[in-house]
A and B are shown apart, each in its own frame.
Chain A
Amino acid sequence: MTSTLNLFIGLAMGLNLLALASSRLPSVIRAAALQGMVLGILPLLMEREFQWMVGLVAVGTIAVKGFVMPHLLRRALRAANIDREVKPLIGFVPSLLIGAAATIGAVALGEILPMREHAGSLLVPGSFATVVGGFLMLMGRSKAISQVCGYLILENGIYLFGLLLINSTPLLVEAGILLDLTVAVFVIGIIMDRIQKEFDSLDTNKLTTLRE
C-alpha cells in the first residue's frame, strides 16, 4: 500500500522539477495538470474501504485540477498568443537546481519530523518539495500564466499534506476547500483576462505603476 502511494508521490515530485525546468508554457500547464490528477487518485489508494464521499472528492479533484483549470489556462494562452516564458526572474537552470535541493531537503526534513501513522511514507517530503516548487514558480516567473501554474503546484503540495488528515477531517471541509480553490482559479482567470485586455500582454513585468 505504502509503496504504491510513494510511487505516485514520487511521480508528483518529478513533475515539479519538470514544471520548473521547462520554458514552454503548454508543458508547464501539462505538468501541473498531470500532477493534480495524480494527487486526485491518492485518496482512493489510502482508504481501506471505498467511501462514496471520498470518491466524490477524488473525482472532483481530478476533474477540476486535471481538466477544467488546464483548459482555462490554455484558452488564456491562445488569447494572449504566447508560448514561452521569455525572461524569468530566476533562470530555468537555477530554479531547477533550487527545486532539486529543496526536494532533497524535504526528504531530510521528513526524516527528522516525528510521524506516527504515516512513518515511511513520502507524504510530508512530497508536500514540502511541491510547496517550495510552487513558490519558486510563483516568484521566479514573469508571465501571469506561469504564476498561476505556480499557485496550482503550491496548492497541490498543500493538498498532499491534507491527505495526512483524510481519516480525521470531515470531508465536508475538504469539499469546501476544493470549492474555494476552484473559485480562486476562476477569479484569477477573470483578472488575467482583464489584464490581457488592458495591458495587451500577460507579462507581469509591465505591472509596475504601483510602488513607492
Chain B
Amino acid sequence: MKEILLIAIPLLAAVGALLWREERSRPWLLPVAGGLHAAVALWLLVSPPTLAAGVWFGFDALARAVLPMVSLLFFICSIYAVGYLRVRAERHNRVFVFALLVLLGFLSLAIQAQHLGLLWVAAEAATLMAVPLIHFNGTARAFEASWKYLLVGGTGIALSLLGSFCLGYAALNAGGNGDLTFSALAGQFIHLDAEATKFSHPWLVAAWVLLLTGYGTKMGLAPMHTWKPDTYGEAPGMVGALMAGGTTTMAFVAVLRVKQVVDAAGDARMTQMTLLAIGLFSMLVAALFLLSTPDFKRMLAYSSVEHMGILAVGTALGGWGIWAALFHVWTNSLTKGALFLSAGNIRRAAGAHNINEVSGMAWCAPQSARMFVTGMFAITACPPFGPFFSELILIRTAFTTGHIYTAVMFLICLLLAFFGLSRLVFALVDGRPHAAVRPAAARMQETAGVILPPLAFLGCSVWVGLATPPVLSQAWSAAVTLLFSTT
C-alpha cells in the first residue's frame, strides 16, 4: 500500500509543522517530506502496483503518468522554500508550511482518486489550502487576490459538484447501481438501449458542461481564467509554481477522467469539439493579453492559461494528442517552475512587478535574470527545451489527423505569445535599473538556495525533452490506453 504513503507522508508532516516550535528550522520539514514523497512516487513509477477493482483511490496509469511530476515539482520548490523563508524571516511560517504540505497531500489524493465524490472532496480541499499560501505576503493586494480566488474558485468548484451529481444521476438513470468509481461509471454507459439512453443522455450532457466549466475553472481555461493573473501576480513565486504545475495538473486529470466516462457513453465527438473550442479560445485570449500586460508575474499567469489551452487542444485530438498533452504536463510544469522561481527572485530584487517600474535586472539580479530569459525561450517552445518536443508531437498529430486549421491557429497563437513574452522579458532585463530599485537590489543576495532550484527546473526541462526516460513515455502510453479502454 505504498500509494497511501503519498498521502500520509505530507499530511503527517503537516501535523508536525503545526506542532513544531522553532520558526527557523520548521521549513526543513518541507524538503524532508517532499524528498520522501518523491522517492515513493519514483518507486511507484518504476514498479506500478496493480489496481484492485472497485477501489476508491489508487496509483493507476493516469496517476502514474503525472503524479511523479507533481512530486518532483514540490521537492524542488521545497528546497527553494527553505532559502525563501529564511529571507522572509519577518513573516510567521507555521501556516504557510502547514498549508503547503496539506496541499501536496490533497493533490496526491485527488490525482489518485478513482471515485467521483472523492475526487471532488480532494479537489475542493486542495483549492482551499491554497488560500493561506496566496496571502502569505499579507498586503492589501494579496487579500484582494485571495478574495477573488475564493469567489471564482469557489463557484467553479461548486459547479463541478453540481456536475458530479448530474453524472451520478445520469448513471442512475442508465441503470447503474450507484457505484461512482470511474471504471464502474464508464462501464454503465457502454451499450445502452434506446430507453436508457433517453433517460440518461440529457443528464450526461449537462454533467459534461458543468464539470468542464468547474474543473476548467481550476485549470484556468478561458473564459474562467480571471482568478489566475490576480493570484499568480500576488502569491509568492514558489506558490505560483506549485499552482501552475500542481493544482492545474490535478484539474486536468479530473477533466480526463470525466471525459473517459462521457466518451464511453458515445459522446466522444461532443467532448472533442468542446475541448478543442475552449482550448483554442484559451490560447487566443492568453496570447492577446500577453501582448498587453505590463506585469511580469501576471504575464506568467497568462502563459499558464495558454498552456492549459494547449493541454485541452491535445486532449481533443485524441490518441497521440493525449500522449503529447501528458508529455506537455511535464515539460510545461517543470519549465514554469524555473520561470516562477526566478521571477520571484527578480520581484524581490526589484521591489515591484510592473515593467514601468522595473528594468535593468541583468545588472541587479544577474543569475535570476539569466534564468528568466532562458526560461522564456524554453516556455515559448525553443529547442532543446521540453515544451518544444511536446508541442511538436502535438502539431504533428494535428496535421496527421487532418486538423489543419487547428494547427494553423495553434501556431499563430504560439507566435503571438512569443512576441508578448519576449517583449516583457527583455524590457525587464535590459536597460538601466531605476534609482529606487538599487537599494532593494543591494539587500537581495542571490544565494545558492534561491538560484539552484530554478536551475534544476531548467535542467529537468531539457532532460525530459531531449532524453525522455523510456519509463515515462511508457507511463504516458499506458495512461492513453487506459483512457481509451472503454471506447
A interface residues (Cβ-Cβ under 8 A, vs B): 112-117, 131, 135, 138, 144, 147, 151, 154-155, 157-158, 161-162, 164-165, 167-170, 173, 176-177, 180, 183-184, 187-188, 191, 194-195, 198-199, 204, 207, 209-210, 212
Complex Cα distance, B121 from A154, in Å, reads: 17
B165: chain A residues at CB < 8 Å are 158, 161-162, 164-165
A187: chain B residues at CB < 8 Å are 128, 131, 150
B168: chain A residues at CB < 8 Å are 165, 168-169
Q: How far is the CB of B118 from chain A (nearest CB, A)?
A: 7
Complex Cα distance, B158 from A38, in Å, reads: 20
Residue among B120, B162, B230 with max Cβ neighbours from chain A (10 Å) = B162
Q: A164-B169, A191-B147, A210-B234 are in contact. Are A184 and B154 (CB under 8 A)?
A: yes
Cβ contacts A to B, 28 pairs, < 8 Å:
A113-B203, A114-B203, A115-B173, A117-B172, A131-B162, A138-B151, A151-B154, A157-B162, A164-B169, A165-B169, A168-B176, A169-B168, A169-B178, A173-B115, A180-B121, A187-B128, A187-B131, A188-B150, A195-B143, A198-B143, A199-B140, A204-B147, A207-B144, A209-B140, A210-B141, A210-B144, A210-B229, A210-B233
Closest to A165 in B: B168
B289: chain A residues at CB < 8 Å are 212
B interface residues (Cβ-Cβ under 8 A, vs A): 115, 117-118, 120-121, 124-125, 128, 131, 135, 140-141, 143-148, 150-151, 154-155, 158, 161-162, 165-166, 168-169, 172-173, 176-178, 180, 198-199, 202-203, 229-230, 233-234, 289, 292-293, 298
Contact of A158 among B117, B162, B198 (CB under 8 A): B162
Smallest CB-CB A-B distances: 5 pairs: A168-B178, A173-B117, A176-B121, A207-B144, A210-B230
Q: How far is the CB of B113 from chain A (nearest CB, A)?
A: 11
- Please give 12 more A-B residue pairs, beta carbons under 8 A apart, in addition to A169-B168, A169-B178, A187-B150: A113-B202, A114-B198, A138-B151, A154-B155, A176-B117, A176-B118, A194-B135, A194-B143, A207-B144, A210-B141, A212-B289, A212-B292
Q: How many A-B residue pairs have CB under 8 A?
A: 119
Q: How far is the CB of A121 from chain B (nearest CB, A)?
A: 13
Contact B147 A207 (CB under 8 A): yes
Complex Cα distance, B169 from A164, in Å, reads: 7
Complex Cα distance, B354 from A210, in Å, reads: 12
Contact A155 B158 (CB under 8 A): yes
B234: chain A residues at CB < 8 Å are 210
Contact A138 B117 (CB under 8 A): no
Complex Cα distance, B234 from A198, in Å, reads: 16
Contact B117 A169 (CB under 8 A): yes
Q: How far is the CB of B72 from chain A (nearest CB, A)?
A: 28
Contact of B180 among A169, A176, A188, A199 (CB under 8 A): A169
Q: A165-B172, A173-B118 are in contact. Are A191 and B155 (CB under 8 A)?
A: no
B178: chain A residues at CB < 8 Å are 165, 167-169
Contact A209 B141 (CB under 8 A): yes
Contact B230 A191 (CB under 8 A): no
Complex Cα distance, B203 from A148, in Å, reads: 29
